[in-house]
Amino acid sequence: MNFKDIHIGQLIKLRIEESGLNEDRIVNFFKLPLVEIEAMYEKQDISVEHLLRWCKILEYDFFRLYSHHLILYSPLSKNIKSNTTNALPVFRKNIYSQELISFILEQIESGEMTGNQVVKEYGIPKSTLSRWNFKYSENKLDSES
């Protein structure tokens, strides 16, 4: 999947097919007619309320797709002044999930990107990429033993 092209409706439909979830259960959970549920599969974006409900019923964090997108493709922001009071929590951008790390390492291993291209494209520090390569090789060696 290309993180730049998130079509949430298609991804939801795919997850339903993978899980084998019954349409009647979905209709009852959402309290919407099947026609409206099926219309969501065609949408590239849906409301946060509906997405949260999809996450619950399908037991999958669709929001993480968007946060990965932000980590990979958003420009680095300037630090917010520390003397301002933020109403919303401030999250560190450099927290990478295992799925994201695997995606990046697969890009390099497949030859789609070089390490330098990854550093430049996604803004991942070279030291972080080196650490991932070390951990990945170490885990690979352990599983082969």
What domain range includes position 120? 98-144
What is the total count of domains within the chain?
Answer: 2
- The type of residue at 128 is T
Q: Are residues 64 and 113 in the same domain?
A: no
pLDDT digits (tens, 9 = 90+) for 20-70: 999 999 999 999 999 999 999 999 889 999 999 999 999 888 888 887 777
Task: Please state, as a whole number, how many other Cβ atoms lie within 10 Å of the Cβ of residue 1.
Answer: 12
Residue 28 within any structural domain of the chain: yes
Q: Between 48-58 and 63-73, two packed helices, what is the crossing angle to 10 degrees?
A: 110
Q: Are residues 102 and 56 in the same domain?
A: no
pLDDT digits (tens, 9 = 90+) for 67-109: 777 767 665 555 555 555 666 555 555 567 777 888 888 888 8
The set of residues, in sequence order, having a beta carbon less than 8 Å from that of 105 and lying 6+ positions away, is 132, 133, 136
* CATH number of the domain where residue 58 is located: 1.10.260
pTM of the model: 0.56
With beta carbons less than 8 A apart as the criterion, state whether 57 and 88 touch: no
With beta carbons less than 8 A apart as the criterion, state whether 136 and 105 touch: yes
